[in-house]
Chains A and B, each alone.
Chain A
Amino acid sequence: MGNITLKNVSKSFGATSIIPGLDLVIENGEFVVFVGPSGCGKSTLLRLIAGLEDTSGGSINIDGRDVTGEAPAKRKLAMVFQSYALYPHMTVAKNIGFPLKMAGEDKATIDKKVGDAARVLNLTNYLERRPGQLSGGQRQRVAIGRAIVRQPTAFLFDEPLSNLDAALRGTMRLEISELHHQLKTTMIYVTHDQVEAMTMADKIVVLNAGNIEQVGSPMELYKTPRNLFVAGFIGSPKMNLIEGAPAAKNGAKTIGIRPEHLEISTTAGEWKAIVGVAEHLGSDTFLHVQADGVGPLTVRADGELGVHHGDTIYLTPDKAKLHRFGADGKAI
C-alpha cells in the first residue's frame, strides 16, 4: 500500500512561509509529479513527506497512519536525491545493501536482494566498483537500486535527472517509468522540467509559491488549465497569452492559445504576422512571430515549413481550443 494524505500541511522557516497550508491525496500506486518553478516549495514538500523537514502545521498520513512526528526511516519511504547521495567509501553492492544492513537483515538475504536489484538495473557487472568509478547514469541507477531494495511504501525522487545530460535524461526517464510499471509502487517525483512531468506522471501537482495551483492528469492540465499560471507553465513551447482587443473580443481579460493550435496560411487568416526567428527541427517548425494588434506569438507547425525570417504569414486560432481567463487570472 502507498496512500499518502496531506492535511493542511504548512512549513515556515522563521517568519518566511514556504508552504502556507495545503491538502493533497496521493493514491496507492500513482506516479505523482510535483512541478513548479524554482523556489515554489516542491522540494520542501517532498522533504516534509520524507520526514527530513519538520512540518510547521498539519498532518501527514501514510496508509492511514499519522507519521507527522516520525523519523524518516520509520515512514517506510525511499528517496532518490538529485546529487545521488551515494556513500563514496562503499562499493555499489554495499551502497545498495546499506538499507538492508540497517534493517538487520542477514548477509545471505542482503546478497540475494542486492543481486536481484542489480539485475533489474543492469548493474551486475559493477557491484564491486565504487561510485567514483561510475558514470552519472550508473550512479543514478545505484541510487534507485538502494531505494527499491527495501521495498518501500513509496518512492520519493528529488529532481533525480537534473545532473544528467539531455540524452541520458531521456533514457533514465523511460527507465523510471518502466520501473513504475514493474513495481506498481507509489512514486512522488519532483521536477522543474514540465516535459518530465507530462511524460511520466499519472497525476501532476502544479505548485507556485507553496500553493497548489492545480492537480490533474497531464492531459487535463494541458487541455483545461485552471488559471494563467498553469496555462503558462504546462506545455512546450509555452501557451501564447494575449491581452487587449483580441481578448476583449472573446469576452476575457486574457486569452490563451497553444502554439500548435494556430493555423498557418500564407494568403489569409485572422491575424497578420511577420516571422522573426524560424526554428526548423525537421519534425516540427517553431516560428516566433510578431502579429499585428496581438503581439509576439510562438507558432508550431508539423514537419518542415518553408517560411523564413521576414516572411508575412496569416494565423487563425482554433476557436475550440482557445482558453479564456478573467481579470483574476482564473479560467472562464
Chain B
Amino acid sequence: MARSVTTQHKTIATVAAWIVALLIFFPILYTIITSFKSEQEAIQGFSIIPSGTFESYSEVQAQSGYFKFFFNSVLLSVGSTILALLVAIPAAWSMAFSPTKRTKDILMWMLSTKMMPAVAVLFPIYLIFRDTGLLDSRIGLMVMLMLINLPIVVWMLYTYFREIPGEILEAARMDGASLWNEIVYVLTPMAVPGIASTMLLNIILAWNEAFWTIRLTTTEAAPLTAFISSFSSPQGLFWAKLSAASTLAIAPILIMGWFSQKQLVRGLTFGAVK
C-alpha cells in the first residue's frame, strides 16, 4: 500500500516537473520550431509543426555573416572569463585564507554592485569608452564583461577555496612552496572542479550579456546578442529569420550547458549543504 502511494506520488511529481520544464523551455522550443518555418507560415498563427525549410538560416547567414558574430561571442566570453579568473583567483585566495575583519563586508559590497541597475551607469561608462577609444573594441568589451561578472566569480571561488583545508596550504609552506607555487601546485589543482564550474557559468553569463554588448558595439566587436538585435528592428516582421538568428545565437551555449550541466549544478549549489 505504502509502496503504491509512493509510486503514485513519484509519478505525479515527475509529470509536474516535466510540465514546468516544458513551460520554461517552451519559448526557446517555439523559437527553434519557427526558425524551420517559411516567413508566410511564421505569421499565420500558432503551429508547432514546421514545414522544415532551412531557407531562413541560409538567408540569415547570407545577409549578416553569422560566423563573425559567433567568433566575437567566443572571444568575448572566453577572454573575459580568463581575465576574470586571473583577477579573482588571487582575490578569493586572500579572502579565504587571510581574512580580515572587513572581508565579509568587501564580499557583500562586491555583490551589491550586481544589484545596481546597469542603466544607472550607462552614461559614464559610455563616455569613458568613447573618450578612450574603446567603443566597438573587443578589448574594451572584454574588460567590461570581466568587471560585470567579477563579483560572482570571486564569490564562487571564495566558497570553493573555503572548503580546502588550511593545513594543506600550511604543509605546502613548510615544504618550501612560495606563495606562487602554493597557488599553482596546490590550491589551483585542488580547486579545479570549482574553477571549471565558475568558468562555465561565467562563459554563459558573458555569452548572454546583452545590455552592454549591444550598447558599446556596432560592427567590429559585435557578438551574437547584437546579431539578434540587428534583426529585430528593421526587419521586425520577419519572424522566421529572427528565430533562425536567435537559434544560431543560443545553440552553442545551449549545447555547452547541456554537456556540462552536472558541473554547473554542482557549482551553483556548492557550499549550500555540507
Contact = CB atoms under 8 A, between A and B. Distances in A.
A191 to B, nearest CB: 17
Nearest to B179: A71
Most buried by B among A77, A81, A85, A150: A85
Contacts, number: 59
Given A83-B167, A85-B165, A85-B168, A72 B173 contact: yes
Contacts of B176: 73, 99, 102-103, 150
Given A87-B186, A88-B190, A102-B181, A73 B175 contact: yes
A103 B176 CA distance: 7
B252 interface: no
Contacts of A87: 168, 171-172, 185-186, 190
> For the side of the interface on B, what is the size category?
10 to 19
Interface string A84-127: 01111100000000110011000000000000000000000000
Interface string A144-179: 001000100000000000000000000000000000
Nearest to B169: A85
Contacts of A103: 176
A99 B175 contact: yes
Contacts of A82: 167
A85 B177 contact: no
B116 interface: no
Interface string B177-202: 11001000110011010000000000
Contacts of B59: none
Chain B binding surface, main DSSP class: helix
A210 to B, nearest CB: 21
B174 A72 contact: yes
Nearest to B171: A85
Contacts of B192: 89
B192 to A, nearest CB: 8
B170 interface: yes
Contacts of B168: 85-88
A107 to B, nearest CB: 16
Contact of A52 (B174, B178, B181): B174
A81 B170 CA distance: 9
Contact of B167 (A72, A73, A85): A85
Contacts of B173: 52, 71-73
Nearest to A99: B175
A52 B174 CA distance: 8
Given A85-B167, A85-B168, A102-B181, A79 B174 contact: yes
Nearest to A73: B176
Contacts of A146: 171, 175
B181 to A, nearest CB: 6
A77 B174 contact: yes
A215 interface: no
Contact of B171 (A71, A77, A79, A150): A79
5 contacts: A72-B174, A79-B170, A81-B167, A86-B168, A99-B176
Interface of B: 165, 167-168, 170-178, 181, 185-186, 189-190, 192
Given A86-B168, A87-B186, A103-B176, 14 more contacts: A72-B174, A73-B173, A73-B174, A73-B175, A73-B176, A79-B170, A81-B171, A85-B168, A86-B171, A87-B172, A87-B185, A88-B168, A98-B175, A150-B176
Interface of A: 50, 52, 71-73, 77-79, 81-83, 85-89, 98-99, 102-103, 146, 150
Which 4 pairs of residues, A with B, have the shortest CB-CB distance? A102-B176, A85-B171, A73-B176, A99-B175
